[in-house]
Structure 1
Amino acid sequence: MVTLPLPSLEMLAAVVVAFLAGACCPTYYATERLRGFGRATFAKIPYQPPPGMDREEAM
């Protein structure tokens, strides 16, 4: 019988839990979360419109 050292069993358990969590999460939900993170991140970057254009017009 093969016995695995304790750290390997912990790593295997973490991988299984991560896989199950990912399998339970719908793809569209995960994509929307990533897009929301990107929007929140880029919203913090200051934006200057080109000369002669409104901010709303330039966006």
Structure 2
Amino acid sequence: MKTEADKEWEYLVNMPDEEIDFSDIPNTTAEMWKNAEVGTFYRPVKKQVTVRIDADILA
């Protein structure tokens, strides 16, 4: 049985591009893209942490 979220995702995935509202996205210029690098992505440094949580809280 599909949840409401599943139905919404299915609708969005199948939505034609013409129906997408881009009105709130600012236009970009060539100047904004002059320093862009293709294939380079921001990868934040990961830190391992340990957290102790009471079993009753997890339950």
- TM-score when normalising by structure 2: 0.28
Larger Rg: 1
- TM-score when normalising by structure 1: 0.28
Bigger RCO of structures 1 and 2 (CA < 8 A, at least 6 apart)? 1
Return the structure number with greater helix share: 1
